[in-house]
Amino acid sequence: MTDTDTTALKNLQAPLKQQYRDDPNSAVVTLSADGELGSGVACKVSTGQALAEAGLHPATGGDGTQLCSGDMLLEALVACAGVTLRAVATALELDVTGNLRAEGDLDFRGTLGVAKDAPVGFRDIRLTFDIDTNGADEEKVATLIKLTERYCVVLQTIKGSATTSVEVETRS
């Protein structure tokens, strides 16, 4: 990590941070995702870069050719944690390389309605950082991970279970 990277990131974020201090409401941004029901048991999701088609996981009868939304959730966690880790590392002036992995355990009896006592959704999620910090001491690495966990939007959403509502709009 170069001082230039750290300075560039701070210069980029400084006016935003000041704006959000001065006008907290300007910091609230609504993100959205759109999908279109596909043929069969599928949903086409616009990712901004491409159209991703989600379908049933093989453990629920899918053939494995479509994305599984559970995998997509774990991918979103890895993406967010990775970007957050890089931003924090830049701010801390740490040179970090490596990989991230998210794993989650699902009991498919829940989503298939086979057992009412089986939960629908992940029961355990594990996020692993396999990183090379190029000689940073344990305290600096602990700070890196602590801040990454604190500022990772997807991780904090999963941990905190955001208030969620469901609405239905029908057309004839």
Which tens digits make up the pLDDT trace of 16-66?
999 999 999 999 988 888 888 888 888 989 888 888 899 999 999 999 999
CATH for 3-25+32-160 (3.30.300.20, 3.40.50.620, 3.30.540.10, 1.20.58.340): 3.30.300.20
**Rounded to whole angstroms, what are the CA distances from 56 to 42, 51, 70, 118, 141?**
7, 17, 10, 19, 39
Domain boundaries defined on the chain: 3-25+32-160
pLDDT at 10 exceeding the cut of 60: yes
Which tens digits make up the pLDDT trace of 94-141?
999 999 999 999 999 999 999 999 999 999 999 999 999 989 999 999
What lies within 8 Å, CB to CB, of 140 at 6+ separation is 92, 94, 133
Tokens representing 57 are 């996981």
* Whole-number Å distance between alpha carbons of 139 and 130: 17
Mean pLDDT of the residues in the chain: 91
